[in-house]
Structures are given as C-alpha cells and as structure tokens.
Structure 1
Amino acid sequence: MTTYRNPVLNADWSDPDVIRVGADFYLTASTFTKVPGLPILHSRDLVNWTIIGHAVTSGYDDVRPGCGVWAPSLRHHDGRFWIFYGDPDVGIHVVSAEDPRGPWTAPHVVKPGAGLIDPCPLWDDDGQAYLVHAWAKSRAGVNNRLTLHRMSPDAREVLDEGTLIIDADLLPGYRTLEGPKLYKRDGTYWIFAPAGGVEQGWQSVFRAHSIFGPYEDRIVLEQGGTDVNGPHQGGWVDTPSGEHWFMHFQDRGAYGRVVHLQPMAWEDGWPVMGADGEPVPGGRVPVPGGTPAEPATSDDFAGPGLGLQWSWQANPDPAWWELRDGTLRLACVPGPEDLRERPSVLGQRLPGDPCTVTTGLTLDGEGRAGLVVLGFTYAYVGLERTAGGTVLVCGDMEPVPVKDGTRVTVGARIGEGALVTFLADAGDGLREVGAPFQATQSRWVGAVVGLFAAGDGAGQAVFDAFTVDIER
C-alpha cells in the first residue's frame, strides 16, 4: 500500500483551499503582495502536487507586507474555475477561468470595503448564489463573526447588506473565528472554519438546515497530544471513489504555513477528522497509482519563462530581468537599500526540510548582487563592485577580493530550525562564509530564498543553475 507523510506540501502554501474536478484535484493559496499571485497546483492523488499556473499576474507597485491577496476559496461552477479572495484594504475580489492554467479574468470587486476577508461562495441547488466572509479587526474593528450575502449568480455583486449568521463572541471559548468554507451536503449547509488563532487554534464545523442558520458547532480537529500546532484552515474534498479528506495548514514560523492531509469520515451526522480529531502523521495515499511529484524548486533558467515557483515582492518591471543562454540576468536597478522593501527581489518558498541551495553568479559592471534569505530579517552572500574592484561579501565578514568578471558559486545550507549557513566558492572550493543566520518569518508568510541585484542601473548580475538539494 502506498503511503504518505505529513506535511504533504512542506513549504509556505498559506490558507490552502482544494477542490476536485473529475479525477483532478486543484489547490490555491494566499500570496499577499507577491507577484504572480494565487498559484494553481494540480494533483491526481492529493499527495503529489505540481504548480501549473497563477490566477493573478499583477498587484501592488511597492512592497506591503501582510497586505494584498488573503485566504482564497477555489470552486468549479458552470464550467468555470472561480477564486474568491479578500484584500483587507479594498474588498472581496473574484477571478475566473475555463482552464485552471489560464488565462484568468482580471480581478473584479464583488464587495468593496475594508476588513472584508476569507470569502467563500456557494451556488445552491435552486440557482441562488451566496457569499460568506469573515472580518479583519485591524481594518474593520470587529472579528470573530461570519457574514452571509445573497450574491448574483454571475458573481458580479452582492445583492443585500449581509446577515450575521455566526457571532462567535456568543460561543464559549471562541476567538478569531475566520477562514470559512461553505458547503452543502444532503440538504444540510456546512461551514468549516478555524478559530483560536493561527498557532494555537483548532478547526470547527458548523451545520444548519437553512443557509441563514441557526448553526450548531463542533470542534473536529485540534492539536491534542500531537506536535501539529494549530491546526488551521483548509478545505474539504472527496475522491472519485467517495472518500472524504481535509487539507489544512500548520504554522511553522520561518518555514511558513505547511499543508497537511487528514482522512475524514462522517459519524452521527458530523465529520470526524484525523485520528479521533487529532492530526495524523501520515497514512495511505487517497488515490492509488499517482506519479511522485512536488512543486518545482530548482531552475536551470532554460526558459522560455521563469519557473512557476518564483515570485517578485511586488509588480515587476520587464527591464529587471532576462533569460539568455541558460542564465538569468538581473539588472542592478535602483531601489531601497533594505532588501525587504525592494520589489525586485526574486524569491521562492523556503523548503521545510533541510536543504542546500547553490547558484553561479557573475557581476558585470557596478552594483551588488547575491543570494538572500529574507523574512522579518535578512542576510545574503554575494558580490559587490567597489572602487577597488569586486569583492565577495557576506554579513560582517571581511570582504574577499575576486577578479572582476569571475564566476563565483554562492549558496546556503539551511538546517534544522531554519538556521542558515552561507556558502561560497571563488575558486578554492565551496566553503562556509560569514556567520550563521537564523531565518525568520515575515508578516503572515515564511521566509523566502531569493536572488537580487542592486545598483544605479549600470551593472548586471548573471545567475546560472539555481539548484535546491533537499535532504530527506
């Protein structure tokens, strides 16, 4: 029997939602202000996943940690894929596509307003459409409650002022109820929603005979005696054979929000997740016969475009980068000195397992460039052109002179607990450089490992063979 171990997506796939269409499963996740956003992942067995595209290709022009695309819901209705997401500073948006690989429609605001988050639609059997959402206290002044709207079936607008269907302030022990996913099964309406906070909370479900309530609740998944803190929001999905599963995230700090898969059964009219309501470390693969796969990490820059694992910190300028002859060329463009504020950092999710990352780097002309690990704090190893020539730099270490135009291997070994040891080879073998660096999360996201080039525009960094070797 083929088995899996959790997490099935061991990197920062925050706020996942999952659906099945025929024999295919699709998943999307929050991306905040990263561009492109709303990744689309595909699987045939809920365990082996690949990235097949993105639903949002533009966003903010500047870096705004914690803003942008929050907690999406993915659905398939009337021959189209739909993703609803909240931008807490703008309102609830929707995009759709006939093919999950795209093209997707431009984001459309279904309901404008501050603090509107975590939306989820339901198209009912009678043709009526509904939209439920949560609230962000940082913008709206309230949270811990869910609001339901009637929605036009074409998802262009909400049709009423909204009805408060769950006020969790009235439920003993509840705080920060959020992330609702709305379903209907055998005539009963269900809302799956986490509460209690990302790091220490639990997963609840609510059921009612009318979509407007009243709803009764039950906690169906919590940490218990396991080491899976949270466990937080996700999506319920079935298999072609009629089995039921639940995918959710666990917050792992610098590694971000990794995704777990739980078996789910129905007992006495309620779902039971995991092992008697506690997360399982793994189990049998839901659909046998799948091909081993995982989201891409390494990139040989052979083109024709960047690998789908990459994202910029805000809207990119096409002049920033070029793929040529198996290399990535980044212009040393002006921008904030602080790399956390620079849109032109190209990054990808930090693997949740220990790994070694390496790439070749050549610096042509003036500027600085390198490989960075970035969260609330950051550090990098790279090259810098000074008045005295090119030097290898890493944190507080004494700069090492390098002949102009020399290709240098730079890298990082990311060990247990996301402790980073930077590496470099300037012709005398790959060795440790600089001081160890503790990777840190950023706002609502894990750390990223990335590439950058900075300067006055006169220089260019040439990267080749970005390789991620994961230890398992």
Structure 2
Amino acid sequence: MIFPKFPTHRLLQSLALALVIVPFTPPVLAETTKGGAVAGWAEFTSFDYEGSDPVFDQTPPKPGAFHNPILTGFYPDPSICRAGKDFYLINSTFSYYPGVPIFHSTDLVNWNQIGHILDRPSQLDVDGLPVSCGIFAPAIQYHDGLFYMITTNVYGIGNFYVTAKNPAGPWSEPVKLPLDGIDPSFFFDDDGRAYIVHNGNPPDKKPLYDGHRAIWLWEFDAKTQSVKNGRIVVNGGVDISKKPAWIEGPHLFKRNGWYYLCAAEGGTGPNHSQVILRTKSLAEPFVPFPGNPILTQRDMDPNRPDPVTCLGHADLVETPNGEWWAVFLGVRPYGGGYSNLGRETYLLPVTWENDWPMILKPGVPLPRNVKRPNLPPSAPAKTPLNGSFSVHDDFNGKELGQQWFFLRTPREPWWSLTAKPGSLMIAPRPVALHSIDKPDPAANGNPSFVARRLQHVRYSASTTLVLNPAATAGDAGLAALQNDTNYFFLGVHTEPGKPRSVFLEQRTKNTSAETLASETLPENAKAITFRMEGDGKDQTFSYRVTKDGEWKVLKAGVDGSILSTGSAGGFVGATLGMYARSTR
C-alpha cells in the first residue's frame, strides 16, 4: 500500500510496507494497597485548561450566526452524514486510542460527542505505529437503518469498515477490504447498488510525477462484504497536464440526476484545495467543473490578518429543508506559518449554480462569522469545542471523560479512577513519549500518558500531583506532545534517598531529550501543581508547591514551535496531559 500526504511521507514510503504486529505482553503492575490506592503509582488530583481565541473575543458571532472553526484543535479530515433530522460528524485520530470520535447535532453548529467508533483493542490495533500513522480520513454514511464507517489503518490492517445500528455504539468488528491506498468512502445509490471510492495507485502503478495518484471506484456487495470491478475514474486530478498532486479524500453523492465526485487536491498543506467532477452515469467519465477549485486559500496573501490556511478535505450534506453545507479542515497558523493546533473542522454553506456546487469562491477569505443553518437548535455542547473557554476535571467519575485519550492501543490497566476516588492514578512504566519514530512491529509504545487536545494558540494548562513519600524511582507531571520526536515534559523526578527536583525536558527531531531547567523541591512539599502557558511561539513553564502559593517560573521564553507540524512534520495537533514514567 502507498499512503501519500505531505512530502514527509516519502520517508514512510521507503519503509517496509508489510508489517506483522507482535502481541504485547504487559509487565506485572504494582499491587493495590489496603487503602485501595495503588502503591508506587502517580496520583493526580485535578486538571485545568483555559484557552482564548482573540478573533472570537474581538468579533463574537452576531445573533443568528456562528463562529468558525466549529471544532477547534486536532479534529482533521471531517466526514458527515444525516439520519432523518440528526447529523453525525467524525474525524481522523491517527495513532491515538480510542479512535474516531463521533459527534451528534441537529443544527450543524453545536456538537456533542456521543462516543468513539473504535473503542476496543480488537477494532484498533495501532501498536508500533508512529503518531501520524494509524487511522486516516474516516468516512461515515447512513443507509437503510445502518451506519457505516470506513477508513484506513495506515501500516496496520489497511482499509476496513465497521457498522452500527446506534451511532453511539457498539460498532462491529472491522471488515478488512482488499483495497490499496487510503481515504475510502461509501456511496449507496437509489437503485440499490453500493460503491466505494478511494485514493489508489495511478495506472500500471507507474506515477508520472511526485504526487501522481488516482481515484478508484469499486462496486460493493454488503451481503458478501466484497468489492469487484474496480476502475480508475480520476487519473491525477482534474487536469493531469498540470501535474496535480495528491488527489485524495473522495466522496460520491447524487443530486438532480447527477453523480458528483468531490475530492481534495494539492496535499493537505498550504496548497490544499477541493475540486468537483460530475457525470450522469457511473459507467461514463466524470467531467470536472470549469470553475475548480470550489474551496481553497492557496492564492491568498499569506500576510493577511488572522489567516486560515490549508482548506480542503470537504464532505457535503443536505439538510431536511434542502440546504447544502460542507465540513472541511483548515489551519490557523501563527508567525512563520506554524500551527500547534493541527487541522481543525470548519463549516460553510454550499451554493448551487447550473447544478455545480461552490463552497467558497477563489480569492475570498474564509469567513469566521457565518449565518447559521435554518435548522432547529442543538443543545449546547457539554464540553466546549470552540471559542474561548475553560474546563476543569477533578477526576471524580468512574471513567475518563470522552475528551481524554491515549497514544496507541493500551494493553494493560495502567490508569485508574476507582483505586482512589477523586484522583487519577497512573502507573509509571518504562515507556517513553518518543518510543517510536518509525513503524516497529515488535513494539507497543503505549506510554502512561492521558491526553487531551490543545485547542487554542493562547492557552494555560495545569495539573496537581501528590508527592507520595513511597513513590518509586521515576518522573511524573504534565506533558505536551506533538509527535514521537517533539515534546515538552514538565515533571518531578523522584529517586529514593535523594531530594526531589522539578524539571523541564524538551525533545525535538534534531536533538535527543535535554533538560532545559531544574530546581530542588522543599523536603516538606506535599503536592506540586505544574502549569504550561502558551501564546503562539512563546511558552512559559511554572510550578507551585502549595495550593494557594505563588507560581514560580521554571523557564520562560521557550520556543513552542517545536509543537507545530511546521517544525515536527506529520498530520496531528499537539496534545496535553498527565504522564508518568519509571526510571528503574
């Protein structure tokens, strides 16, 4: 299989493509104490996150309008479907677990997460995969009372789909498909036939230039779970003479007797765009729209104020009253084109002229405030997903909230909310945040890291750690991760018989892990609160050892661009959370 996206994937394409995942044997965990807590585990009592969007604060939505993006932070590759009056939205998760969050809405603006589609290890094996591998571009469809989600596990099992009668789950076990490439999507025609479109090899598997790919169309038989009669319907892009790169993310839909093929072109970076083609019969060639692209910002002035770039990878949906809307990804960069947030989800209306759709005309900057769809309002999001907001978690539940996730598939119970109610207990294990930077079939690489998305350029995140006198040798604290090579770790180092110290560790793809600053903690300290603050590139790392004490800056003026894709490469946004590791 070939999985093209950014030029950074040239390295991945040079690696072996057929990998066998070796089962991971978990180590023996620490025993539970008589009091119910877990001996030697790190104890976190709270997590706080606060972020502000200056553009949102300066120009809040007017009555009857909403603010883009609708999902902030690492929510790339959106796909959407409608079932009656209800809408469902999903996103890529790459090598994070559980995979593919699913959201519900009745108005397309306010979304509530109702679960994850891939929430069992049997559905999502991402052992041994770098952060930017795993689940690419899932697509969701609703047909005849059944929900379908189809996607690619890159360097895992490849292309597969799952189904559910209830979108909140449970979803079925994966059905593997014999398709190459990435980004598959279902289409169910009104004559009872079904199809799959996806990004695949060019003719004869011989690319004519870098980025030369094709869109394939297959007939799909739901009863036998099989495909047949595959053929190329788009070679290269809308105009192969111009050497279009990375045609991908295709979706098929039908309107007024026309079949439309909507796909992304140009790669998922600043040259990203969305194009449209159509035909009256799937047996006939698709004809491109003369006005392509129907969505892009690649020709806009990069120095414009508050830019949103990389628009593309769109999916379209029709409302019950006949309106059409598009969800798509975009990036909010700060100085130098860096973005720590990754690719986010945006929403715009679709207009039609001569049976051709248009999302945003060339040369028009993406509007941040948009008139709301003519739909009944949804309940406000239980967990804020856009705008300026603050959230607090005191870990009083029996299960982690849906905003939390893990890096790769967990194979052992190394965290607990019930061992000591009111605390998140994490086992320090010898698994590093940078444990994998290339596919490794013999590794699990699931660190003791409980993470959530970074959702603002301007943010503050903090967590409190109890300083257990019986703690074993190791480190615990607050981490900010971009990928397997780039991260910050603000933590406490414990070594029995020696004073504890607070430290800031940094790692990049060009350097090994290094300590930027460290200080000895008072011997009588009972707990420590860590705080990370960011404003674009500028990052500050602080701590305090009493609940209401003054913050002490450990290191300020740190270059936070290491958390950006511009620095680290890949396709994910930065994540934040509690991390513990053993050093025995």
Output the TM-score relative to the length of structure 2: 0.73
1:14 Cα deviation from its structure 2 partner? 1.1
Task: Name the residue aligned to 1:228.
Answer: 308
CA distance in 2, matches of 1:198, 1:206: 20
Letter in 1 for 2:518: E
1:295 Cα deviation from its structure 2 partner? 4.3
Which of 318, 322, 325 is the equivalent residue of 2:416?
322
Alignment of 1:61-72 (within 5 A): 61-72=127-138
Alignment of 1:208-219 (within 5 A): 208-218=279-289, 219=292
1:46 Cα deviation from its structure 2 partner? 1.4
Which of 363, 366, 379 is the equivalent residue of 1:291?
379
Q: 1:373 to 1:437 in 2, by over 3 A?
A: farther
1:353 Cα deviation from its structure 2 partner? 4.4
1:172 Cα deviation from its structure 2 partner? 4.0
Gaps of 5+ in 1: 458-472
Deviations along 1:84-143, whole A, 9 cap, x unmatched? 001233331101111111101111102254xx2000111112211111100379xx7754
Query: What percentage of aligned pairs have identical amino acids?
Result: 30
Task: Name the residue aligned to 2:555.
Answer: 434
Q: 1:155 to 1:217 in 2, by over 3 A?
A: farther
1:291 Cα deviation from its structure 2 partner? 3.4
SS in 2 for 1:230: strand
Alignment of 1:448 onto 2:535: no
Letter in 2 for 1:132: V
Task: Name the residue aligned to 2:499.
Answer: 389
1:363/1:369 contact within 8 Å kept = no
Which of 536, 541, 552 is the equivalent residue of 1:422?
541
1:421/1:437 contact within 8 Å kept = no
Task: Name the residue aligned to 2:489.
Answer: 380
Which of 26, 33, 41 is the equivalent residue of 2:88?
26
2:467/2:528 contact within 8 Å kept = no
Which of 183, 189, 197 is the equivalent residue of 1:132?
197
Please, which moves more after superposition, 100-109 or 284-293? 284-293
Letter in 2 for 1:432: V
Alignment of 1:91 onto 2:158: yes
CA distance in 1, matches of 2:491, 2:104: 35
Alignment of 1:104 onto 2:171: yes
Q: 1:150 to 1:413 in 2, by over 3 A?
A: same
1:38 Cα deviation from its structure 2 partner? 0.9
CA distance in 2, matches of 1:155, 1:372: 46
1:317 Cα deviation from its structure 2 partner? 3.3
1:65 Cα deviation from its structure 2 partner? 2.6
Task: Name the residue aligned to 1:240.
Answer: 320
Please, which moves more after superposition, 269-278 or 181-190? 269-278
1:84/1:119 contact within 8 Å kept = yes
Alignment of 1:14 onto 2:118: no
Which of 316, 328, 350 is the equivalent residue of 1:264?
350
CA distance in 2, matches of 1:244, 1:18: 12
SS in 1 for 2:340: helix
Letter in 2 for 1:150: E
1:371 Cα deviation from its structure 2 partner? 0.5
1:97/1:103 contact within 8 Å kept = yes
SS in 2 for 1:69: strand
Alignment of 1:15-414 (within 5 A): 15-57=77-119, 58=121, 59-89=125-155, 90-113=157-180, 116-135=181-200, 142=207, 143-154=212-223, 156-160=225-229, 162-168=230-236, 170-173=239-242, 174-199=244-269, 200-218=271-289, 219=292, 220-223=294-297, 224-225=299-300, 227-252=307-332, 253-274=339-360, 278=364, 279-286=366-373, 287=375, 289-293=377-381, 295=383, 298-323=392-417, 324-336=420-432, 338=434, 342-344=445-447, 345-364=449-468, 365-366=471-472, 367-376=474-483, 377-386=486-495, 387-395=497-505, 396-403=516-523, 406-414=526-534
Task: Name the residue aligned to 1:464.
Answer: none
Paired positions, count: 451
SS in 1 for 2:413: helix
Q: 1:340 to 1:354 in 2, by over 3 A?
A: farther
2:296/2:360 contact within 8 Å kept = no
Deviations along 1:209-231, whole A, 9 cap, x unmatched? 11243111132112144733221
Letter in 2 for 1:192: C
Q: 1:9 to 1:82 in 2, by over 3 A?
A: same
Letter in 2 for 1:362: V
1:294 Cα deviation from its structure 2 partner? 6.3
Q: 1:379 to 1:276 in 2, by over 3 A?
A: closer
CA distance in 2, matches of 1:379, 1:68: 23
Output the TM-score relative to the length of structure 1: 0.89
Letter in 1 for 2:225: R
Q: 1:411 to 1:359 in 2, by over 3 A?
A: same
**Structure with greater strand share of residues:** 1
SS in 1 for 2:393: coil
Task: Name the residue aligned to 2:40.
Answer: none
